[in-house]
Structure 1
Amino acid sequence: MADSIKNVAVIGASGNLGKEVVQELLKAGFKVTAFAREESTATFPPDVAVKKVDYRSVETLTAALQGQDAVVSTIATVAVGSQVPLVDAAIAAKVKRFIPSEFGVNTRIVEGTSIGKILQGKVKTLDYIIRKSQENPWFTWTGVSSGIFFDWGLKYGSVGFNKDAKTATIYDSGDEPVQASNLAFIGKAVVAILSQPEKTANQYLTIASFNPSQNQILKIVEEETGEKWKVEHVSTEEQEKIGLEKLSKGDYSAFSNFLRRRIYADGAGHAVLGDKNAVSLLGLQEEDLAATVKAWLRG
């Protein structure tokens, strides 16, 4: 582990991704501090220090960040705008590296899109971090786009496969490759970034465990279960229309509809193939799609 980064504060450490990031950091020998709201009842592993904070107060956040080398934010999309006081506090506390809550869609290329309207909190936060890094050269950042949370999405149905009912929802042709990462893999990427601070400073990285098409997943589940699954075909153009209707009413669940259009539409082109995938830069390897799907089926 690099001498320069040892103490890491994790924001959103009790969430789906946060838990995995904490586990991977601990395994790699980092000292982890979880930040939690005053009213939080979340519990953490015994070797994780916990600090209750007011995310609106730069002063109290600055005090809490004393001695921390890096901040990793895994908070949900709806709360990303609240990262600005955290950024200001990190700079005041002389934190060296900030990894904001990007994890998901690459927000650097959403300008002028429907999904970009919902992701403005992320876009503006990273713009702010980049500006602050230019003003304070010792304060560095790394952005990480991981695509969809694959193992989590299989478990909770957001990837479109239901193992109990043996049903699959396939968008458009189902042949478009999709950027996808398992949660622990994202945790390993965070570890790799913080272990190689010079190599990963002030970069926006796109990573993926793999880039499967929906039809590839369908083939695996049918072969593994020995049954044909019932398939429903859905248009991503229709998903876009549904999303716009929702958004016009202030319903931000439109994000799911826009996401389906963005990643599954034929010709979308958002898979991170070849050199686009930063796994080799980080010293990681792509994962085994079939093994992940089979583990879910057995679970």
Structure 2
Amino acid sequence: MVNIAIAGGSGQVSHEIIDALVASKKHTITILSRKGAPAVLGTPDIRWKTVDYDDKLSLIDALRGVHTVLSFIQLLSDPGQKSQRNLIDASIAAGVKRFSPSEYGSKGTVHMSWWEGKEKIREYLEEVNAGGQVLEYTLFQPGLFLNYLAYPHKTSKHVDPLQSVFDFENKRAILVEDYEDAIMTLTTVADLAAVIARAVEYEGKWPKRGGICGNRMTFSEVIELGGRIRGEPFKIDKVSIKDLEAGDLKTSWNLEAVHKAVSDEQASALLKAVSIGILLSSIKGAWDISNEWNELLPDFKFTQAEDFLGAVWEGKP
């Protein structure tokens, strides 16, 4: 049994991981939140602690006796990543053994300004461990959620559908000219949750880089798969590096569905930035995820893209 604290436990991805941890019936789970506990927690296996991330002493007190901290703090709502830095400091002071920062996406952040906070936290974790390990940690990185290629259909309990540059609904995609072989790693939310549930029980040392590789595919392979599943070739909008680097997205369509954490005022600019950022970062290897957790959990069977998407889109117009 592991005593686990979940920071930012009200988010969609964190809910998926919490469900997987509860289902294992092996752990004590405490949710740390700025908000008070809801009237009904849904299960007696979960505790709730209201915390102030600006108060390190209260954080230390909340983390006493905790073995593993999983952070899901929303990066965009944590300017300067002060909350996560304080959480790391408090974890060390409270004697926490393992820490997972708010990651759950690409390995690189180049051209993705909304994820700049990840680099700051990665650097901080290196800094606090520079003189010798004081906090074991891993960066859980599954690439892009395969579930997003099912948009607008919801394929997980908590994570809402979001669009990507691969639009299976309308049989179209966007790719960078001359970079059809750029790599995109696609992993289901359920597989991410299952791997994390196994990882908290893992008795060996956590790898710093925690790649989770469900499906490693080129852009052209994803598009070809989409054509087979949807019954006709995808319409391709090709964009140039020069235009993207200039902030121009010269396509016939763009993303429309935005994450709930993003305000209406931010939505339009962010959706454009997300498309440009994913495309530019992909050609620099940001989504070519490593496979550390695949190797550490060799018996785990990942959901295959063709099986998953075939089932989602079967019979749909």
TM-score tier (shorter) = 0.7 to 0.9
Matched, 1:176 2:174: no
CA distance, structure 2, for counterparts of residue 64 and residue 152 of structure 1? 35
TM-score by length of 2: 0.75
Q: Is the 8 A contact 2:174 2:236 kept in 1?
A: yes
Aligned to 1:200: 206
CA distance, structure 1, for counterparts of residue 3 and residue 18 of structure 2? 12
Aligned to 2:117: 121
Q: Is the 8 A contact 2:8 2:14 kept in 1?
A: yes
**Deviation larger for 91-100 or 165-174:** 165-174
Gaps of 5+ in 1: 245-249
Displacement of 1:179 in angstroms is: 2.2
Query: What SS class does the counterpart of residue 103 from structure 1 fall into?
Result: coil
Displacement of 1:63 in angstroms is: 2.0
Aligned to 2:239: 234
Aligned to 1:213: 218
Q: Is the 8 A contact 2:92 2:134 kept in 1?
A: no
Once the two structures are superposed, the pairs formed by residues 1-299 of structure 1 within 5 Å of their partners are 6-28=2-24, 29-38=26-35, 44-46=41-43, 47-79=45-77, 81=81, 82-107=83-108, 113-115=110-112, 119-134=115-130, 137-152=133-148, 154-155=150-151, 156-172=161-177, 173-200=179-206, 203-242=208-247, 254-263=273-282, 265=283, 268-270=284-286, 272=288, 276-278=290-292, 279-283=294-298, 284-298=300-314
Aligned to 2:258: none
Q: Is the 8 A contact 2:106 2:287 kept in 1?
A: no
Q: Is the 8 A contact 2:150 2:169 kept in 1?
A: no
CA distance, structure 2, for counterparts of residue 163 and residue 8 of structure 1? 38
Query: What SS class does the counterpart of residue 35 from structure 1 fall into?
Result: strand
Displacement of 1:8 in angstroms is: 0.8
Gaps of 5+ in 2: 152-160, 250-265
Query: What SS class does the counterpart of residue 178 from structure 1 fall into?
Result: strand
Aligned to 2:154: none
Aligned residues: 279
Displacement of 1:60 in angstroms is: 1.9
Q: Is the 8 A contact 1:12 1:36 kept in 2?
A: yes
**CA distance 1:297–1:208, change in 2 (3 Å):** same
CA distance, structure 2, for counterparts of residue 57 and residue 42 of structure 1? 25
Displacement of 1:20 in angstroms is: 1.6
Query: What SS class does the counterpart of residue 96 from structure 2 fall into?
Result: coil
**CA distance 1:30–1:258, change in 2 (3 Å):** same
**CA distance 1:196–1:134, change in 2 (3 Å):** farther
Over the aligned positions, Cα root-mean-square deviation in angstroms equals 3.1
- The percent identity for this pair of structures is 24
CA distance, structure 2, for counterparts of residue 243 and residue 30 of structure 1? 49
Q: Is the 8 A contact 2:102 2:118 kept in 1?
A: yes
**CA distance 1:256–1:74, change in 2 (3 Å):** farther
**CA distance 1:169–1:256, change in 2 (3 Å):** closer
CA distance, structure 1, for counterparts of residue 241 and residue 285 of structure 2? 14
CA distance, structure 2, for counterparts of residue 85 and residue 43 of structure 1? 29
Q: Is the 8 A contact 2:224 2:233 kept in 1?
A: no
Displacement of 1:236 in angstroms is: 4.4
Question: Residue by residue, what CA displacement relative to the aligned partner does 1:78-114 show, whole Å, maximum 9, x if unpaired?
Answer: 245120111111122211111111222224xx6xx54
**CA distance 1:255–1:44, change in 2 (3 Å):** farther
Q: Is the 8 A contact 1:38 1:54 kept in 2?
A: no
Aligned to 1:247: none
CA distance, structure 2, for counterparts of residue 64 and residue 259 of structure 1? 37
Q: Is the 8 A contact 2:107 2:288 kept in 1?
A: no
TM-score by length of 1: 0.79
CA distance, structure 1, for counterparts of residue 37 and residue 275 of structure 2? 27
CA distance, structure 2, for counterparts of residue 53 and residue 40 of structure 1? 11
**CA distance 1:26–1:135, change in 2 (3 Å):** farther
CA distance, structure 2, for counterparts of residue 182 and residue 21 of structure 1? 12
**CA distance 1:218–1:35, change in 2 (3 Å):** same
CA distance, structure 1, for counterparts of residue 67 and residue 233 of structure 2? 52
**CA distance 1:40–1:50, change in 2 (3 Å):** closer
CA distance, structure 1, for counterparts of residue 132 and residue 64 of structure 2? 17
CA distance, structure 2, for counterparts of residue 59 and residue 224 of structure 1? 54
